[in-house]
Amino acid sequence: MRTIAAAIRFIVYSNLFIALCAAAYTAKTSLLLYGSNGSLSVNGIVFCATLLLYCFHRINKKKFLTLYENAEERNNWMSLHKSVYHTLIPVSVALLCVQLFFMPPRMWLVFVPAGIVGLGYTYPIVPARGGWKRLRDIYWLKPVWIALAFSWLTTFLPVVYAESVSSVIKPEVLFIFFRGFLFIFVLCIPFDIRDRAFDERRGVYTIPVRLGEKKSIYLSIILLLFFVVLLVIQLLYFGLNTHIAFALFISCILTAAILPLGKAGKPALMYPLLYDGAMLVQWVLIVVSLHI
């Protein structure tokens, strides 16, 4: 059991798990539009880019941790396994460069904006009084940037690879993008609840800092209702497959069911496994729906 637990911690805390979830969420777009998991290279680009950015973020965040925060499980693991991050970063950079080199030039129109948002989330790029700010430090917009970068990259990258750039404004593509934005935004809320004390001490006014835990969860439920509204509109007026619609609805219900679990003080592993894992669950449900 200790070996299994250690393996799970490695996969999650090294950021391999969130990278896998991001790749699956990219494959989800191809499943919805083309009935297959799409290009392995495109999914690999998202995997490597996510791994790279999250490893950078973890290393940078380490500088701002207090002694108490440093003793928390996920931060302590990071301190004890710095070599993992220092290995994964150059490996992901190398793989990312190789994959992008063989991609059509139009792919950069999607990749670069998402990369800028990703880097700006960790490093200060926004001019402000007394210096520079990171995107995550601007009011309550922290989950907006994550949701925007994730939904942008995982929706538009496979589309632009398979079709022309103009295809991103097709209704079926925009439905995927906006649903993805809402879904990822909702998944960010429990992490912000977990980090509420950390953010509050540093003057980062996230949604849980502003509203508290309970109201933040209510807001998440409301956003999931908007997800369902978009789903129903596409089902009724834009020819969405009934089985796929049901799979997406189930993923929405499951996500709503686990939201109340996202309270401060819960085991550190729970958050990525439950909430990042929701992307993986949605992909699995869509795969199953296509084979019914």
What integer pLDDT is reported at residue 64 of this predicted model?
A: 63
For the chain, percent of residues with pLDDT exceeding 70: 96
**Look-up of token digits 């509204």:** 229
pLDDT tens digits, one per residue of 139-165: 678 889 899 999 999 999 999 999 999
Buried b (16+ CB within 10 A) or exposed e, 15-39: bbbbbbbbbbbbbbbbbbbeeebbb
What pLDDT shows up at residue 140?
73
Q: What is the pLDDT of residue 66?
A: 61
Q: Using CA atoms, how far apart are residues 178 and 152, in angstroms rounded to an integer? A: 9
Cβ pair 270, 253 in contact under 8 A:
no
Q: For residue 132, what are the β-bridge partners?
A: 127
Domain tally, the chain: 1
Residue type, 203: G
Residue 261 belongs to domain with CATH number: 1.10.600
At residue 290, the pLDDT reads 94
Instruction: Output the average pLDDT for the chain.
Output: 90
Segment 258-283 shows an average pLDDT of 89
- Give the per-residue pLDDT at 77: 87
Residue 267 has pLDDT above 70, yes or no: yes
Question: Which band of pLDDT confidence, cut at 50, 70 and 90, is reported for residue 251?
Answer: very high
Q: Provide the 3-class DSSP secondary structure of residue 127.
A: strand
**Per-residue confidence (pLDDT) for residue 82, from 0 to 100:** 87
For the stretch 14-66, pLDDT in tens is 999 999 999 999 999 999 999 999 999 999 999 999 999 999 888 877 666 66
Report which residue type is found at 114: A
- Residue type for position 201: R
CA separation, residue 12 to residues 90, 269, 271 (Å): 19, 8, 10
Residue 69 confidence class, pLDDT cut points 50, 70, 90: low
More confident residue, 258 or 135: 258
Chain centroid offset of residue 196 CA: 19
- Residue 246: give the domain boundaries: 2-289
> Crossing angle, helix 142-162 and helix 171-194, to 10 degrees?
150
